[in-house]
Structure 1
């Protein structure tokens, strides 16, 4: 009887271990991704998420700069992206990879303005323009791929959404590397409120101008009026004003930047 109990206990432990090893956990590299096929998220990106990536000084990843081989093909990453331009096909990736580590150790967020490229330094920044509609976006390249001969770059879902091709899957694009020397000064704005009654938004704009001594502007889209404070040249001042607004009943206020 005692032998039978031990045997049952050992069998139960083996079943638990087997279940853990096949659960699709993010730390299980034999079945790394919990989804077999990629898919779009269950919501669209917010206005805040669709802002361009901010070009900042970065330290290049040494490990992501080494030559590597994928599917029998050799790739040699660039040491410097200055002056890089290219045209080709862009695709996008979403839910299957969301939350997993990218090639330079960052965590992939399908709602962030990021991209995967086979040879650009990691990280780096590129302006991507959809040549069919003229829409453009600046993304942070922090991953390797896409490993298809006919694909030039893989964008996050948010970036593809902003470029207007998320429902097509691919688009013809132009890439232009952007370095700190290329980037221009970006002005800060703070979106304070939004509503469908223009008179109310105008009254609030007047009050905020008197209180914060900053210009205001009202942007209308889809019959919704969005009130913004700015432009504000000093980023530190913009952050201070934002914090003050949040304490003064505008908890949903957020920063925007000029393109």
Structure 2
């Protein structure tokens, strides 16, 4: 191998490595969000169909973004709030949402900081009266002055896709359930069943509530419940978090564990 060839080879490999590092360091394929290259179709702008879906356990745990901690609410019934809506499109198209699904800017979906995932909401543009029903399957927008982030198709239907933001009213939509949703508080997880059982007995005596132990992902998980009253669940969670269970969180089930 001549000196000139070695120089060319090293130069090419350096450029290839730099390219790979740049690609690995960037999560999205474009830096700034953009609108799609076509308009949504009438079919794509049909309201989301409201169903009773099982809530995600992992996506409804407390989380921290940009140094701020958010605690998702356990029950969206009665939720209603006004604020600023934005939209997101091509930059995030094809990437995973907080719910583990693939974001499609032409689906009638939305991101919200605290509504359960998934859930449904009617969004009304207060500037023109247009409405859209969306399925919330993502977290955001993480701006203090914004309430909800709609897919491009939903923003198009509400008529603010060119402005970028609009003042809206968000109203959660729920279906009547045959039985109440059950809430549990997960307090601990470990590989030693005996230790988990001892802790379960202690909590039963202290709280006067039932406990459930499940085996998932090679861990025994201890949950307190079930609880059917949301205020009671929130109060219990707060009490446990202020004690020795700072990482406790709520989870939901349509049937007893």
- Does residue 16 of structure 2 align to residue 16 of structure 1? yes
1:196 equivalent in structure 2: none
Distance across 2 between alignment mates of 1:10 and 1:63: 46
1:203 equivalent in structure 2: none
- Does residue 171 of structure 2 align to residue 176 of structure 1? yes
Alignment of 1:104-123 (within 5 A): 104-123=99-118
Distance across 2 between alignment mates of 1:138 and 1:39: 23
- Out of 26, 29, 34, the residue aligned to residue 39 of structure 1 is 34
Q: Deviations over 1:35-65 (max 9, x none)?
A: 1111111111000000001112212111111
Alignment of 1:31-70 (within 5 A): 31-70=26-65
Q: What SS does structure 2 have at the residue aligned with 1:180?
A: coil
Per the TM alignment, residue 17 of structure 1 is displaced from its structure 2 partner at its CA by 3.3
- Does residue 120 of structure 2 align to residue 128 of structure 1? no
Per the TM alignment, residue 3 of structure 1 is displaced from its structure 2 partner at its CA by 8.8
Q: Give structure 2 stretches of 5+ with no counterpart.
A: 178-257
Q: Deviations over 1:176-228 (max 9, x none)?
A: 1111229xxxxxxxxxxxxxxxxxxxxxxxxxxxxxxxxxxxxxxxxxxxxxx
- Does residue 81 of structure 2 align to residue 81 of structure 1? no
Q: What SS does structure 2 have at the residue aligned with 1:22?
A: helix
RMSD (Å), alpha carbons: 2.0
Distance across 1 between alignment mates of 2:38 and 2:7: 49
- Stretches of 4+ moved more than 2 A in 1? 1-18
Q: Deviations over 1:102-124 (max 9, x none)?
A: 11111111111000000011111
Distance across 1 between alignment mates of 2:30 and 2:19: 17
Q: TM-score, normalised by structure 2?
A: 0.64
- The higher-RCO structure (CA 8 Å, 6+ apart) is 2
1:71 equivalent in structure 2: 66
Q: TM-score, normalised by structure 1?
A: 0.63
- Does residue 82 of structure 2 align to residue 96 of structure 1? no
1:159 equivalent in structure 2: 154
Distance across 2 between alignment mates of 1:57 and 1:7: 64
Q: Give structure 1 stretches of 5+ with no counterpart.
A: 183-259
Distance across 1 between alignment mates of 2:145 and 2:171: 19
Alignment of 1:133-212 (within 5 A): 133-181=128-176
